[in-house]
Structure 1
Amino acid sequence: MEPASDELENPTPTPRQLILKLLLVVEGGELDVTSAVRACALFGLSANNTRVALARLQSAELIETVVRGAYRLGQAGRALGEEIGAWRQAETRLREWDGSWVVALTAALGRSDRKALRARERAFGLVGLRELDDGLFIRPDNLVGGVAHTRERLLSLGVENSTAVFQAQQFDPQRDARAHLLWDASELQKTYSEGQRTLQASMARLAGMPIEDAARESYVLGDQAMRQIVFDPMLPEPLVDSAHRRSFRELVKRYDDVGHQIWRDFLAQGR
């Protein structure tokens, strides 16, 4: 699930978040009310809150009724699911970096509209833009589709249509040096290493855990890892060790597959 949505933002799930994710995992793509209530109960979420979430998801056309008491993703939910699953192919959307930068200029946009400002800041974080000078945000131009793709994604994430997005190159030496230091490569490497250790340790113990505990742990740790991926700026060499990032991402894919099977087994036990 891409995560510009709130669906990936909280490590303790709401009924809405958990239901949407389960509908991407369950056999046949259908989830009944009893299974939804049972799954949510693992996280201390009440049956009443679960039923309210189902009703609201249906009202928002994110889910639809299959038969009485059973649901599948609606059209909007399927689109969200495709967006959320896009993290698995993120590495294929990178290209070799030629040293140029994508720039978003916000100096003329103002800061009085707090809602617009929050949307802008969130979008910039998801796209990996950092502030070089006042109102001048940049990222390496290493994404397939270049400036046009980045502009389109920013607009889809709620950034104002009047935002100037363009390519820049040949910064003066001082700015170029500062640009290369906007991202903490050592901190990124640390998160990759720590993330790998956490997931490897979890995978080693999941098979020996009660199914309820395994389902809960695989959800929480898998969600944390996925959010780490979603907010990764996808930097090129030499700004970061891309091989280390790919290794972490491949492990997250394997962990996600293991977690999906655990949840299928958990839900099957309740039938």
Structure 2
Amino acid sequence: MPTTPRSLILSLLLGAEARGDGALGVRELLAACALFGLPENSVRVALARGVAAGLMATPRRGCYALGPQARPVADAVGGWRGLQASLVDWQGDWIAVHVGAAGRSDRPALRARERVFGLLGLAEFERGLHLRPDNLAGGAEALRLRLQALLPEGAPAGTVFGLRALAAGDAARAAALWDGAALDAGYRDTAARLAAWLDAAAALPPETAAREAFELGGDAIRRLVFDPLLPAPLVDADARARFVATVERFDAAGQAIWQRFLAAARTPRPTV
């Protein structure tokens, strides 16, 4: 769950974009943030600073949308819906990124690179050498372009290349970089938790349903966004496909709940 006004607002704006709303008004954002205990003053400060940083834009007075500086990450997060279509059959080859020349002294740049590498499913095989299975559409070239788009401007992406014919021992060591059993358990457990919530959601008060749908859906989508998208036999690809289908069903229900909540927030309260 987002814990700061800025991260929560950005998540709300991303959800609004996915619903086709495009922008949210101040009244809607204040009502949504109040669900999570965020005070109005903190929300207004976050909005002003977000606009100044380019993370948010004001397409019209009193309304906010995602800004240009938020676009690369927003696109990466929103891409979870096309996850299954991005996978291709794995032939046993790897994509490698060598960052030895990039250095490790610039701590902020190093942290940014590690976050992006995690987003792309890259794991460190040896110092300065990161690998992932070559099972994504577009191969090394597509991953190179995504690295360049996600890293801060001027940050070195390293050298991206295809890698094949690893020795049997090295291939086994590479496959062990990820905990496949933990990933499989996460697919099954999270799908079951989402399905159980959907079965009980109709009995929840609107505010509770909106908050819990946001929290549970956000956690599930983060799992997908940061999933390394490993091929079989490294993970149970069928369990992941079922998990994705459950998240899609949950997201559709959550979007409907939030549309109703925001519609109520837009309606002025009658004066007494």
If the length of structure 2 is used for normalisation, what is the TM-score? Answer: 0.87
- CA 269–155 in structure 1, closer or farther in 2 if over 3 Å, else same: same
Percent same amino acid at aligned positions?
44
2:270 maps to which residue?
Answer: none
8 Å contact from structure 2 (residues 206, 261) kept in 1:
yes
Give the AA of the match of 1:128.
G
- CA 187–74 in structure 1, closer or farther in 2 if over 3 Å, else same: closer
2:263 maps to which residue?
Answer: 268
1:87 to 2:87 alignment: no
Give how far 1:185 is off.
1.1
8 Å contact from structure 1 (residues 27, 264) kept in 2:
no
Give how far 1:235 is off.
0.8
Could you tell me which of 212, 221, 236 is aligned with 1:241?
Answer: 236
Structure-1 separation of matches of 2:5 and 2:256: 20
- CA 72–155 in structure 1, closer or farther in 2 if over 3 Å, else same: closer
2:4 maps to which residue?
Answer: 14
Could you tell me which of 171, 183, 195 is aligned with 1:176?
Answer: 171
* Deviation per residue, 1:11-68 (Å, 9 max, x gap): 134333333333443674342222211111110100111112222233344221424x
Give the AA of the match of 1:169.
R
Give the AA of the match of 2:151.
G
Q: Specify the SS of the correspondent of 2:43.
A: helix
Structure-1 separation of matches of 2:131 and 2:76: 24
Give how far 1:106 is off.
2.3
- CA 83–174 in structure 1, closer or farther in 2 if over 3 Å, else same: closer
Give how far 1:187 is off.
0.8
* Deviation per residue, 1:174-213 (Å, 9 max, x gap): 1112112211111110000111121112111211100011
Q: Give unmatched runs, 5+ long, in structure 2.
A: 268-272
Q: Specify the SS of the correspondent of 1:66.
A: coil
Give the AA of the match of 1:134.
R
Give how far 1:267 is off.
1.6
1:99 maps to which residue?
Answer: 92
Give how far 1:225 is off.
0.5
- CA 164–74 in structure 1, closer or farther in 2 if over 3 Å, else same: closer
Structure-1 separation of matches of 2:131 and 2:71: 32
Structure-2 separation of matches of 1:190 and 1:168: 29
2:58 maps to which residue?
Answer: 64
8 Å contact from structure 1 (residues 215, 266) kept in 2:
yes
2:252 maps to which residue?
Answer: 257
Structure-1 separation of matches of 2:254 and 2:166: 46
Could you tell me which of 9, 16, 27 is aligned with 1:34?
Answer: 27
- CA 37–241 in structure 1, closer or farther in 2 if over 3 Å, else same: same
Q: Specify the SS of the correspondent of 1:143.
A: coil
* Deviation per residue, 1:142-171 (Å, 9 max, x gap): 111111111121222228436121111111
8 Å contact from structure 1 (residues 119, 157) kept in 2:
no
If the length of structure 1 is used for normalisation, what is the TM-score? Answer: 0.88
1:124 to 2:117 alignment: yes
- CA 123–77 in structure 1, closer or farther in 2 if over 3 Å, else same: closer
8 Å contact from structure 1 (residues 63, 77) kept in 2:
no
Structure-2 separation of matches of 1:246 and 1:239: 14
1:8 maps to which residue?
Answer: none
1:148 to 2:141 alignment: yes
1:208 to 2:198 alignment: no
8 Å contact from structure 2 (residues 72, 150) kept in 1:
no
The range that moved more, 18-27 or 32-41, is 18-27
1:109 maps to which residue?
Answer: 102
